[in-house]
Structure 1
């Protein structure tokens, strides 16, 4: 079951660079999350961490969004 992510945004960590990572932000269940999406697919969460039960599904959905936007 996919979780509902809204207002997903990403931008490179460094100007004119596609690597090594991207800043991401989105809303889930009305809570704003930010983090860094690394080339390896790992997510370094900002000050707000998602609930433990939601994290695996959120990571999967974010990975799919990044594949679509970055590696198209």
Structure 2
């Protein structure tokens, strides 16, 4: 489960798409870049293969809610 989710625009010009994000899951802090096409680029920890798809799904839902509402 994702906890303490945060995101911000990659660019000062907020009209340009692209966001950085961070969250905690199972005691680890994950960070990455969320690109306008929905691609996720992990920048510190890569989730274990058995959890990655679930975390990506949760992340997509959070981004849709917060950014594209």
Question: TM-score normalised by the shorter chain: which range applies?
Answer: over 0.9
Q: Among 6, 9, 25, which residue is 2:6 paired with?
A: 9
Q: Distance in 2 between matches of 1:61 and 1:47?
A: 18
After TM superposition, the score normalised by the length of structure 1 is 0.90
Q: Provide TM-score, normalisation by structure 2.
A: 0.94
Distance 1:24 1:8 in 2: 7
Unaligned runs of 5+ in 2: none
Correspondences of 1:1-72 after superposition (within 5 Å): 4-72=1-69
Displaced runs of 4 or more, over 6 A: none
Task: Provide the aligned length of Structure 1 versus Structure 2.
Answer: 69
